[in-house]
Amino acid sequence: MASTGGRAEAHTAGRDGKGPDGSKGRGASGDTEPGATGTPQALAGEAKGAVEAELGGPDAAETARFLSKVLLPTLARGVLVRRPLMESLVSALEADRGIVSTLRDLRERHGDGPLPLRLAGRDAALVLAADDVRTLLEGTPDPFSSGGREKRGALSHFEPHAVLVSEPEERPHRRASNEQALATGRVLHPDGDVIAAQADEEARALLAALGDGGVLDWNRYSASFDALARRVVFGASAAGDVRTTELLRRLRARGNWSYAAPVQRTVRAEFLDRVGRAVDRAEPGSLAAGLSRKAGSHPEDQAAHWLFAFDAAAIAAFRSLALLTSYSPGAHAAREEIQETEGLDLPLLRATVLESVRLWPTTLAVLRESNRETVWRDRVFPAGTAFVVMSAYFHRDPSRLPYADEFAPEVWIDGRAEEDPGILPFSYGPAGCAGREVVPLTLSLFLRSLVRDRDLTRVDARGPLPASGLPASLNHFALRFTLPGRGA
Ligand code: HEM
């Protein structure tokens, strides 16, 4: 990141296209219109004269449209824990389609941005070009912090010392502890066999509880998935610890209000104490067994984050079931893999999970906060600007991605998704999801055990997903599947 007198030139960040972790590194996306993105040379030259230009933002009508079509549906759904009623409304209205069209129109009228906004009395900027996503994510934690006021406010309700809201001096060793335990960067976790056994046991227990002809709905499924998450994080002895998950859910519901809701300190203390004791007892092969115990590393907060994040994984896997039962050719291929493949390596099933979070991202917006003034094209953004990346806009814009509305697992195998800086279901760069490999691994193993011996069918009112033209939103709470009897 080049910097001039304490001001960061965002254009120059990551233009070599190589992230420190090697991800998302191969070339520009082709996303930006010719001439719209200044090269570093252009910035150093004539464009620099224009750098002090006034920040021009959207007009009143555009701001109103942004608030009603983008911000409101995003916040109403619940950022940390989804609200079923709102999720159903958002799906019925295909609100994610509205996010894509609103942001596309803003880009057409205002250029590549980022587009300055005032949100709740603070400076914000809407990211509109995929190359700018890379600049932000690879410029983390300096000059773009992954913490930020809103995130700290939300997560302090249950994980005040988690890596993603850590101060710069604490971040490196907490990140290293997460990466070590989660084996970040390795497709197959070294304890994959243990994860496979846990996934298989939980899937069998769920199938047995459903019985022949049983209906798999969100409530039954998520109770089982929560138990799987506790098993994978702490070991089999934690499978029945429903209380910890319940406490977390209460605290997350408060977290939806960020710093507008006071922290329930007694509930948080009980929750973190339970997690801390579970970390102390972590069984060999569990994820928590790999966490650092060094002073200041707060393993209980890191594990608390994992339990929280496994909820997104639950949603992703349930929607993956909807993909696997769809009429798409991709579903057929993935189901063949299920029948034919032993062992841990299930590339098509992992790609199904990744498609699930591309098509219906569980992280609705990725945020960064600049810790000094930054320069983007002809605009200067003050320190403290909140940069907002709306995942759906980058993942589902058919004018950008020919496969935007298709189930296309192949894009995760042939490198197209990896090369596109706008595809960020797990984010990337130094503060990207540390679980981005262990999550698809765990889910692929769970899905295989769930589906291998049973002909799962989607039976809710909407029926199986079509072969192409997938809906912009998919309400996971409303999905229902049947498991016909073995003789059926
Ligand atoms: C479908 C499931 C999941 C998705 C889509 C997801 C996605 C994300 C995203 C978008 C971030 C924010 C990164 C950023 O701000 O740039 C993140 C952070 C993180 N995730 Fe996940 N995540 C999932 C599940 C998990 C699980 C189950 C774990 C642990 C077992 C995990 C561990 C982490 C950690 C440790 C961070 C913080 C990274 C940092 O700040 O350095 N995630 N995740």
- Over residues 41-50, the pLDDT tens digits come to 222 223 333 3
Average pLDDT over residues 343-357: 97
Q: Per the omega criterion (within 30 degrees of 0), is the bond before 116 cis?
A: no
483 Cβ partners below 8 Å, 6+ apart?
207, 210, 212, 213, 214, 216, 454, 455, 456
Chain segment 437-482, per-residue pLDDT in tens: 999 999 999 999 999 988 889 999 899 999 999 999 999 999 999 9
Q: What are the structure tokens assigned to 137, written together?
A: 């994510």
Tell which atom from ligand 1 comes closest to the C-alpha of 171. 41
- For residue 58, the model assigns a pLDDT of 87
- For residue 213, the model assigns a pLDDT of 83
- Host H or E run for residue 386: strand 386-390
Using a pLDDT cut of 90, give the percent of the chain over it: 70
H-state helical runs in 391-432: 391-395, 416-419
- Return the domain boundaries, the chain: 3-169+366-395
- For residue 24, the model assigns a pLDDT of 58
Average pLDDT over residues 225-240: 97
Q: How confident is the model at residue 329 (pLDDT cuts 50, 70, 90)?
A: very high
Q: What are the structure tokens assigned to 251, written together?
A: 């605290």
Three-state DSSP class for 118? strand
Please tell me the distance between residue 5's alpha carbon and the centre of ligand 1 in angstroms: 34
Chain segment 381-391, per-residue pLDDT in tens: 999 999 999 99
Q: How confident is the model at residue 51 (pLDDT cuts 50, 70, 90)?
A: very low
Chain segment 59-109, per-residue pLDDT in tens: 888 998 999 899 888 887 776 777 887 888 878 788 889 999 999 999 999
Q: Does the structure show a pLDDT above 70 at 263?
A: yes
Q: How far is CA 352 from CA 128, 226, 320, 322, 330, in A?
A: 27, 21, 6, 10, 8
Nearest CA to ligand 1 atom 11: 433
Pick the range with the lowest mean pLDDT from 128-137, 166-175, 179-188, 226-235: 166-175
Q: Does the structure show a pLDDT above 80 at 170?
A: yes
Tell which atom from ligand 1 comes closest to the C-alpha of 151. 15
Please tell me the distance between residue 261's alpha carbon and the centre of ligand 1 in angstroms: 24
Beta-bridge mates of residue 50: none
Chain segment 197-223, per-residue pLDDT in tens: 999 999 999 999 988 888 999 999 999
Token pair 């999720």 in the structure block, residue? 87
Other Cβ atoms within 10 Å of 303 Cβ, number? 27
Tell which atom from ligand 1 comes closest to the C-alpha of 233. 30
Chain segment 302-316, per-residue pLDDT in tens: 999 999 999 999 999
Using a pLDDT cut of 70, give the percent of the chain over it: 87
Q: Does the structure show a pLDDT above 50 at 372?
A: yes
Q: How confident is the model at residue 299 (pLDDT cuts 50, 70, 90)?
A: very high
Please tell me the distance between residue 435's alpha carbon and the centre of ligand 1 in angstroms: 6
- For residue 464, the model assigns a pLDDT of 95
Average pLDDT over residues 350-368: 96
Please tell me the distance between residue 59's alpha carbon and the centre of ligand 1 in angstroms: 35
- For residue 347, the model assigns a pLDDT of 98
Cβ–Cβ under 8 Å, residues 390 and 416? no
Q: What are the structure tokens assigned to 98, written together?
A: 């509205």
Task: Tell me the C-alpha distance between 82 and 75, whole Å.
Answer: 10
Q: How confident is the model at residue 52 (pLDDT cuts 50, 70, 90)?
A: very low
- Host H or E run for residue 358: helix 347-359
Tell which atom from ligand 1 comes closest to the C-alpha of 353. 1
- For residue 8, the model assigns a pLDDT of 58
Token pair 């769970």 in the structure block, residue? 446
Nearest to 279 by CA among 228, 245, 248, 238: 238
Tell which atom from ligand 1 comes closest to the C-alpha of 232. 30
What is the identity of the amino acid at 416?
R
Task: Tell me the C-alpha distance between 81 and 178, whole Å.
Answer: 23
Which residues form ligand 1's pocket by a CB distance below 6 Å? 137, 146, 163-164, 175, 178, 182, 287, 305-306, 309-310, 312-313, 316, 357, 362-363, 366, 425-427, 431-435, 438-439
Task: Tell me the C-alpha distance between 11 and 292, whole Å.
Answer: 37
Pick the range with the lowest mean pLDDT from 34-38, 148-152, 422-426: 34-38
Q: How many helices (H) and strands (E) does the chain have?
A: 18, 12
Task: Tell me the C-alpha distance between 488 and 480, whole Å.
Answer: 19
Tell which atom from ligand 1 comes closest to the C-alpha of 164. 40
Three-state DSSP class for 368? strand
- For residue 10, the model assigns a pLDDT of 64
Q: How confident is the model at residue 485 (pLDDT cuts 50, 70, 90)?
A: low
- DSSP sequence for 4-43: ETTEEEGGGTTTT---TTSTT-SS--S-SPTTTSPPHHHH
pLDDT greater at residue 25 or residue 401: 401
Task: Tell me the C-alpha distance between 346 and 21, whole Å.
Answer: 23
Say what angle helices 299-324 and 171-182 make with each other, to 10 degrees. 50
- Strand order of the β-sheet with 115-119 is 115-119, 122-126, 386-390, 365-370, 144-145
CB-facing half-sphere around the CA of 358: CA atoms within 13 A = 31
Q: How confident is the model at residue 12 (pLDDT cuts 50, 70, 90)?
A: very low
Task: Tell me the C-alpha distance between 41 and 449, whole Å.
Answer: 54
Candidate of 433, 445, 446 to mutate for ligand 1, largest count of ligand atoms within 8 Å of Cβ: 433
Q: How far is CA 109 from CA 59, 105, 112, 130, in A?
A: 11, 6, 9, 17
Please tell me the distance between residue 430's alpha carbon and the centre of ligand 1 in angstroms: 12
What is the overall mean pLDDT for the chain?
A: 86
Q: Determine phi and psi for 200, rounding to 5 degrees.
A: -65, -45
CA–chain centroid gap for 412, Å, is: 16
- For residue 351, the model assigns a pLDDT of 98
Please tell me the distance between residue 439's alpha carbon and the centre of ligand 1 in angstroms: 9
Q: Determine phi and psi for 235, rounding to 5 degrees.
A: 115, 165
As a 3-state breakdown, the chain gives helix, strand, coil percent values, each rounded to 5, of: 50, 10, 40
Nearest to 472 by CA among 105, 104, 93: 93
CB-facing half-sphere around the CA of 456: CA atoms within 13 A = 30
Task: Tell me the C-alpha distance between 264 and 158, whole Å.
Answer: 9
Q: Does the structure show a pLDDT above 90 at 378?
A: no
Cβ–Cβ under 8 Å, residues 346 and 488? no
Geometric angle at alpha carbon 192, from 191 and 195, rounded to 5°: 95
Burial class (CB in 10 A: 0-12, 13-18, 19+), 196: buried
